[in-house]
Amino acid sequence: MELWLFRPSGLSDGRSCFLGGRRVRAELRVAVLGATGYAGVEAVRLLLEHPNARPVYLASHSHVGQRFAAVYPHLAPFTDAVLGPMDADRVGDVDIALVSLPSRESLTLVPELVARGMRVVDFSADFRLRSAAEYRTFYGIEHTQSALLEQAVYGLPEMRRNEIRNAVLVANPGCYPTAAILALGPALSAGLVLPTDIIVDAYSGVSGAGREPSRTTHLAEMDGSLVPYSVAGAHRHTPEIAQELSRAAAHPVTLTFSPHLAPQARGILTTCYARLARSVSQADVEEVYRQAYHQEPFVWLVVDGLPNTKAVAGTNMAQIAVRVDRSAERLVAMAAIDNLGKGASGQAVQNMNLMLGINETAGLPRIAMWP
């Protein structure tokens, strides 16, 4: 079943083009399952503007048979797609599937898609953790897909680019982990900081909680209020952050992660604190980060000024800044991302591009919305 959507100007079925010295199909076919959640609709928005790919199947649990534009009217000029069921047999002939479902639900659907020969980017946490025991502890159920768990590649391109290119299944990172790993990864890899006694203090816009309304994310409850939640190791992203920072450090990392909800729709601001392993200057630290990120298309190292969420709103960019606190002998590493961009759908499209062998930045370069 194909759903006709907006087709970028100048591209048509059967054409091909050259990207990176290789011939690729001009219109790669993409399915988005879970298209009516916030991350799903953001993925559709990016795909509608993508020069080499188009969404041909959109699926939803709760809106089957409805026009997508009836759920999200801002996309009415660009698509007349009708939402299909969350059924692997209905997806059809696609080059890749983006699966934007809550954790636990992907355990059933993703294996069905992979079994049908599809490449998959999964937005949930179901394939991020290497340890099935940690998954059981933090998600409350047994992991039933141990073979796929071993096969899945953690989808942070700045750390796993070559593995992602060859992956069948990519586990798209969480939004909080993306910011924390990008902020602290280079310092841990270079041995600038100790892998113990790390603090990750993070603030997220309420869209990170999903589209389903709740008291804690209701505007009337959140207006003018900052709210901590899931503190003292209780948040499900804690083991994910520890897992990937341990990989960067080549040593087990211990950390305290404290997330907060902020009274804004989107954006994450993370400030990380780590003890210095040796005496270093501000210039030394900046050089380590410059070497780590100077070729990264979506990492913006801020030297004059500090990161802020407005500067990355609607983009796939990550703003990173580092400061040496000499009095406390700590490194302060900061990151700002859009939780629906680099923290979810933007990163998923970046991973998709790598998996399909096209330009990594295709469909993603954009200037932040301001004000």
> What is the token pair recorded at 351?
């991973």
Q: How far is CA 64 from the centre of its chain?
A: 26
- Characterize the bridge pairing of strands 299-301 and 318-325: parallel
Active site residue 175: yes
Cα–Cα distance measured from residue 341 to residue 361, given in angstroms and rounded to the nearest whole number = 13
Strand partners, 198: 255
DSSP state of 209: G
CA distances 298 to 25, 91, 211, 347, Å, are: 25, 31, 27, 10
Among left, alpha and beta (phi > 0; psi -120 to 50; other), residue 20 is left
Q: Annotated catalytic residue: which of 26, 96, 175, 335? A: 175
DSSP state of 78: T
Residue 267 — φ and ψ, nearest 5°? 120, 145
CA distances 112 to 82, 89, 108, 117, 325, Å, are: 22, 9, 7, 9, 50
Residue with tokens 């897992």: 243
CB 195 within 8 A of CB 256: no
Q: CA quadruple 297, 303, 308, 311: dihedral positive or negative? A: negative
Cα–Cα distance measured from residue 174 to residue 240, given in angstroms and rounded to the nearest whole number = 8
> What is the token pair recorded at 64?
């089957």
Question: Catalytic residue numbers?
Answer: 175
